[in-house]
Amino acid sequence: MGYKGRLALKFLYGGAGRPSRVGIFPGAWNPPTVAHVEIARAARQYADDLVWVLPRVFPHKEFEGVTFADRCRMLEKLAANSAGSSVAISDGGLYSEIAAEAREFFGPETEILLVCGRDAAERMATWDYGHPGVFDEMLRRFRLLVAARRGQYEPAGHHSDRILKLNMDSDWDEVSSTEVRSRIVAGDDWRQLVPPEIIDMVESLY
């Protein structure tokens, strides 16, 4: 990633104390959707705190559109209206880097759980890290909480005890940030896809 020095997780909202288990939920948040909120809700069943994380850079996409600061504002608004939620920004963009930053922040006594959808889990498992064994080592250190997104994630047998499937109340396959942006451009109804707390912000920003 080209970083020098230590990567550091920086909290914008919450982050006090040392929870026994913390869920780390990275994303681009362009914008956050009701599907994201549902994934966070499901993950909080396993964690004392759910941390929405916005990386400063993304390993698989360019940072474009709504600004970094505005995405932070949307996440802070969501967290302020949801118990057990925090917001942080990370230097690293890979899940392995973000998890390491969380370990550095919370210390060895807190269990770090990485929260993602099926597509992100598959990307993690097949990513070219430059040397073998990175994904295996990451799972030895951090468990994954994976939500179904256009299908369930099916882990390799030797990973099954380190990857948990999140129980979702509904099918959210058709809800995505891309769909929200597409509907806004087309002049179609998009408001039901966005958490009510940030509808006004999304309308103003997009």
CB-based contact 90:9 (threshold 8 Å): yes
Q: Is the Cα dihedral 144, 147, 149, 150 positive or negative?
A: positive
pLDDT at 4 over 50: no
Q: What CATH code is assigned to 10-174?
A: 3.40.50.620
Q: Report the half-sphere exposure of 17 (CA within 13 A, side-chain side).
A: 10
H or E stretch covering 116: strand 111-117
What whole-number distance in Å separates Cα of residue 161 and Cα of residue 159? 6
Is the pTM above the cut of 0.75? yes
pLDDT at position 3? 41
> pLDDT tens digits for 6-56?
678 999 999 877 899 999 999 999 999 999 999 999 999 999 999 999 999
Q: Where are the domains of the chain?
A: 10-174
pLDDT at position 167? 83
Residue 173 pairs with which residues in a beta bridge? none
More confident site: 203 or 128: 203
What whole-number distance in Å separates Cα of residue 25 and Cα of residue 52? 5
> pLDDT tens digits for 149-203?
888 888 788 888 999 999 887 788 899 999 999 999 999 999 999 999 999 999 9
pLDDT at position 93? 93
pLDDT at position 6? 62
